[in-house]
Amino acid sequence: MFQEIKNIYHLAMAIGANLWYGFPSRNLTVIGVTGTDGKTTTASLIYNILKSSDTKVSMISSVGAVINGKDYSLPFHVTTPSPFALQKFIKMAVERGGTNGKKFLVLEVTSHSLDQFRIYGINFEVGVITNVSHEHLDYHKNYRKYAKTKLKLFQKSKDAVVNKDDRSYKILMPELRKLMGRRPARVVTYGLTKTADVNPENFEFKSNMLGEFNTYNTLAAITSARLLGIKSAQIRKAILDFKSPLGRQDMVYDEDFAVMIDFAHTPNSIKEILKVLREKVSGRIIHVFGSAGQRDRTKRPEMGKYSSEYCDIMIVTAEDPRSEDVDKISRDILTGVKDSELKMEKGSILKIPDRQKAIITAIDIAGENDLVLITGKAHEKSMNYGKGEVPWDEYEAVKKALDRRYEKN
């Protein structure tokens, strides 16, 4: 009931924001991207394809806003901005896009923003879903409700782009069929299966990104671009030239050993990236990660389980603990790890609450051909310990750790 009352407030704010800025999205072709994992990469791929096709395009995603080529930062821990901030960006995209030609906006859309009506007033040309995996169940209560929240994007979309291989497909598709003829008008599927409308066999492409999960992200972007009328040759070239967004598979050091920063912060994303890296790393994988405090606690054991399955050394640390005790969060993570106490005794699991010290330790113990994988924070510029946001820079933390290692030697 409390959340329903809050959502009425959010809706009123969204209506006010649209009235204040004159419903600016009506002058744009908007592509919305939702899903648990892969939203930012998929949105960035679509943006890159449109940009390389000489269209006027802007983007709002978790790594920031790009309005007609100019970068803007977003508030801490924000993917879809509040209604007034969102409508202001949209108005800027309209005004700075000139008077000639079609103007596009790629918008990353969270389940919270859908549920809270933050995107009220925006009609989407294309709505895209990447996947629905274990996340935000503290808010949505169960997987089915979480998946169905994503339908709110398709109720506002002319065309729906859906992952046929994802678990959510069986929940979403019957509901989408009920909506057909209103919105969305069309549902186009993508996936690795041959029965998907767009798959690697009927649309061949080359990409420099690692992992099956990025194949799905790319297929989602391809499907969207084709619906928008972009030529196949332009799509293929843009995919090949694409560079991952900040904090996605970001190899920040690669000499005697390697250090990678990635935003993976769900069980599925941790599993997928570690599965890919395990096949490529000849040495040990040293994984530094934590889990957010006062958020979905049920995902923590799953995160520990997948990390322990694929990596050699786990270092569990702080990751926006808020007012929760970091040690309590770490214990929750380790409940998913078989023989965790024995592994701690042997040194293959370490609990280091201070994230900077955890990164220093990981880099200090790295040997030849090892990979240090640091997940969960990536592009974010703050950490929350329960008393507001304090500055944090994952890249600077790695630099300090590397400088310290080589100063000692």
Q: What is the pLDDT of residues 273-302, one digit of tens each?
A: 999 999 999 999 999 999 999 888 999 999
Domain with CATH 3.40.1190.10 in the chain: 2-241
Contact indicator for 58, 42 with CB cutoff of 8 Å: no
Domain 2-241 has CATH 3.40.1190.10: yes
Task: Report pTM.
Answer: 0.90
Mean pLDDT by 10 residues, the chain (409 residues): 72 92 95 94 97 93 91 75 91 81 91 86 94 67 83 91 95 86 84 96 95 96 97 97 92 97 94 95 97 92 96 97 96 95 93 98 97 96 92 97 86
Residue 181 has a pLDDT of 66
Q: How far is CA 99 from CA 20, 51, 103, in A?
A: 21, 17, 9
Contact indicator for 130, 33 with CB cutoff of 8 Å: yes
Domain with CATH 3.90.190.20 in the chain: 250-408
Q: At the topology level of CATH, where does 250-408 sit?
A: Protein-Tyrosine Phosphatase; Chain A (3.90.190)
Number of other residues whose CB lies within 10 A of the CB of residue 385: 16
Q: What is the pLDDT of residues 294-340, one digit of tens each?
A: 888 999 999 999 999 999 999 999 999 999 999 999 999 999 999 99
